């Protein structure tokens, strides 16, 4: 689905559900990770996370669009458009828009384990580090002796 098709779908949902026009643009933004969509206050654009649509289908996309259109129409009218505002919660209930969306599974981030082991040449104190350190610049904390890398 293209950005133009997305904009047209949002215009149609805005006309049918809110009985008001959507006069701005909508975009897919694949950099969104923690949310299904967002409404941009300055440009009045709506950005949608394409991963939500790909994983959960049109029904989830429609819910995200309704939620963002609640922000949009209330902001345009000068009413409370934030999640905590009563106007926003009332419009969510009236339009049956979800308060939260399901998110695609987060990317698996590799947990960084201990990669570097250093030892003082004088007192033999061992130091574990996750990040490589410059042994010419840093010294032992106990005796100020030189450090040597043991495990890379």
- Residue 112 pLDDT: 60
Q: What are phi and psi of 148, to 5 degrees?
A: -130, 140
> Shortest CA distance to 117 belongs to which of 107, 108, 126?
126
Q: Is the pLDDT of residue 111 over 90?
A: no
Global confidence as pTM = 0.69
Structure-token pair, residue 105: 């599974």
**pLDDT tens digits for range 126-144:** 999 988 999 999 999 999 9
Of all residues in the chain, what percent carry a pLDDT higher than 90? 75
Sheet holding 26-28, edge to edge: 26-28, 46-48, 37-39
The string of pLDDT tens digits covering residues 20-69 is 999 999 999 999 888 889 999 999 999 999 998 888 889 999 999 999 99
List of residues 6+ apart from 37 with CB closer than 8 A: 46, 47, 48, 49, 52, 64, 65, 67, 68, 101
The yes-or-no verdict on residue 8 having pLDDT over 70 is yes
**Residue 71 is encoded by which pair of tokens?**
């922000």
**Active site amino acids:** 68
Name the pLDDT band for 100 (thresholds 50, 70, 90). confident
Which structure tokens are listed for 61? 């996309």
């Amino acid at each position: 689905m293209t950005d133009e098709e997305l904009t047209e779908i949002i215009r149609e949902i805005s006309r049918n559900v809110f009985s008001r026009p959507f006069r701005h643009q909508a975009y897919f933004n694949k950099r969104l990770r923690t949310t299904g969509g967002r409404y941009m206050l300055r440009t009045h654009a709506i950005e949608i996370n394409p991963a939500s649509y790909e994983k959960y289908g049109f029904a989830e996309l429609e819910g995200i669009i309704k939620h963002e259109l609640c922000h949009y129409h209330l902001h345009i009218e000068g009413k409370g458009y934030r999640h905590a505002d009563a106007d926003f919660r009332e419009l969510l209930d009236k339009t049956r828009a979800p308060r939260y969306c399901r998110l695609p599974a987060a990317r698996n981030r590799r947990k960084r384990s201990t990669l570097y082991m250093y030892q003082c040449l004088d007192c033999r104190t061992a130091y574990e580090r996750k990040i490589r350190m410059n042994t010419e610049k840093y010294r032992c904390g106990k005796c100020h002796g030189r450090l040597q890398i043991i495990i890379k």
